[in-house]
Amino acid sequence: MFVDAHLDLAWNALDWNRDLALTVTAIRQREAELGVKGKARGVNTVSLPAMRQGGVGLAVATLLARLYRSDLVPGLQRYESMPGAHGAARGQHAWYEAMCRQGQLRQICYQRELAGHVALWNRPGGPETEPLGFILSMEGADPILFPEEIDLWWGLGLRIIGPAHYGPSTYANGTGCVGGFFPPGRAFLKAMRRVGMILDVTHLADEAFDQAMAWFDGPVMASHHNCRALVDDQRQLTDDQIKRLIERGAVIGMAFDAWMLVPGWVRGQSTPAGMGVTLEHVVNHMDHICQLAGNTHHVALGTDLDGGFGTEQGPLDMDTIADLRKLPAILEKRGYSAPDVAGIMGGNWLRFFGRNLPAK
């Protein structure tokens, strides 16, 4: 069973109005029939059937209160009010509930549920018949109105929070910003620790990353990050940050967005064909982390596929998420053993969540 630590499933279903129960081809055709225009339209890569075809039996699925609609002012992605963000995230949570009631998805909140899901998925016929499992995460904490409200979200099954996304959030500076946590941020991290929430450092600005690692002594992960040494951008992890995450027992998921894979990508101009972006570049970032760690235990998948981009900004040799099945052969060609490949494709996340989800 493969594990992908970052998919914006509900955001695609609600904000992009995609029926993820359809095949990828059917979603593309539907957007073409409707004449839907804009970035990433008609070139999506993720649907529930494609996940099943690719063996992705478990994902970290997000609540993402972010606007990305063609009728809005360009660049306006943040909700004007926290209650607006809260309402958007609650709506996305309702979508996950509905998909669970339909038998499409299975929410994983506890260690015993994770073990049970893996056992069911791995039995004969499991990949064809079992619901797809998901662990609920929040990317950018604007929906959480105040630190004490973390208890509400914990009760809804939220298990992972990334305090920031692009730009500033209520609690911390994120990608593209300079600075650390804002005044409510330290209390926010304390509330996370109190309930047992996992901290996702993805998208934190450098100073905020430093503060989070100093102030939060609970489990940490990086759901979808690549290496700054290979692509020099603040969105990426420095070698020092990677080493600090390794010391904390974190796992780092590799993102498949082309501009994060190769240097020199010019947004709005570069293409995967023009830049020669392939899954080999994903493995370059994996290998860099493995060399820093001296083992393969801290790298895995966090594709972010359909996170505001599609095939126009992904590896050339990846048409849908089902093409994750091509990665093991590339890793094996690079000299990775079968157990190492199994860990990278899913086992490392299973071990991390098996240790850091609540027992009951």
Residue range 288-330, pLDDT digits in tens: 999 999 999 999 999 999 999 999 999 999 999 999 999 999 9
Q: Report CA-CA distances (Å) from 212 to 163, 244, 302.
A: 10, 12, 21
Which tokens sit at 25?
Answer: 């081809």
- Taking residue 118's Cβ as centre, other Cβ atoms within 10 Å add up to 20
Report the C-alpha gap between 339 and 270 in whole angstroms: 36
Number of domains comprising the chain? 1
Report the C-alpha gap between 336 and 348 in whole angstroms: 14
Percent above pLDDT 70 for the chain: 98
Q: Is it the case that residue 210 has pLDDT exceeding 90?
A: yes
Top-ranked range on mean pLDDT: pick from 73-77, 81-85, 195-199: 195-199
**Strand residue runs (E) in 181-306:** 198-200, 220-221, 252-254, 299-301
Report the C-alpha gap between 297 and 304 in whole angstroms: 20
Q: Is it the case that residue 111 has pLDDT exceeding 90?
A: yes
| Per-residue model confidence (pLDDT) at position 316 | 97
| Per-residue model confidence (pLDDT) at position 69 | 65
Q: Is it the case that residue 6 has pLDDT exceeding 70?
A: yes
Range of the domain at 254: 2-356
Please give the helix or strand (H or E) that residue 194 lies within, else none: helix 185-195
CA 207, chain centre distance (Å): 22
Report the C-alpha gap between 287 and 114 in whole angstroms: 28
CA 146, chain centre distance (Å): 24
Report the C-alpha gap between 348 and 108 in whole angstroms: 17
CA 251, chain centre distance (Å): 12
| Per-residue model confidence (pLDDT) at position 70 | 57
| Per-residue model confidence (pLDDT) at position 270 | 95
Residues forming a β-bridge with 199:
161, 220
Residue range 54-77, pLDDT digits in tens: 999 999 999 999 887 655 555 557
Hey, is 336 helix, strand or coil? coil
Q: Report CA-CA distances (Å) from 59 to 169, 272, 334, 346, 349.
A: 25, 25, 26, 10, 10
- Taking residue 98's Cβ as centre, other Cβ atoms within 10 Å add up to 13
Q: What is the mean pLDDT of residues 184-198?
A: 98
Report the C-alpha gap between 45 and 329 in whole angstroms: 21
Which CATH number is 125's domain given?
A: 3.20.20.140
The end-to-end CA distance of the chain, in Å, is 23
Kindly give, in sequence order, each residue whose CB lies less than 8 Å from that of residue 59, ignoring residues fewer than 6 positions away: 3, 4, 5, 6, 7, 9, 51, 132, 133, 134, 135
Closest CA to 175 of 185, 184, 183, 165: 165
| Per-residue model confidence (pLDDT) at position 280 | 98
Q: Report CA-CA distances (Å) from 97 to 44, 92, 292, 356.
A: 23, 9, 40, 23
Whether the pTM exceeds 0.75: the reply is yes
Strands 56-63 and 2-7: parallel
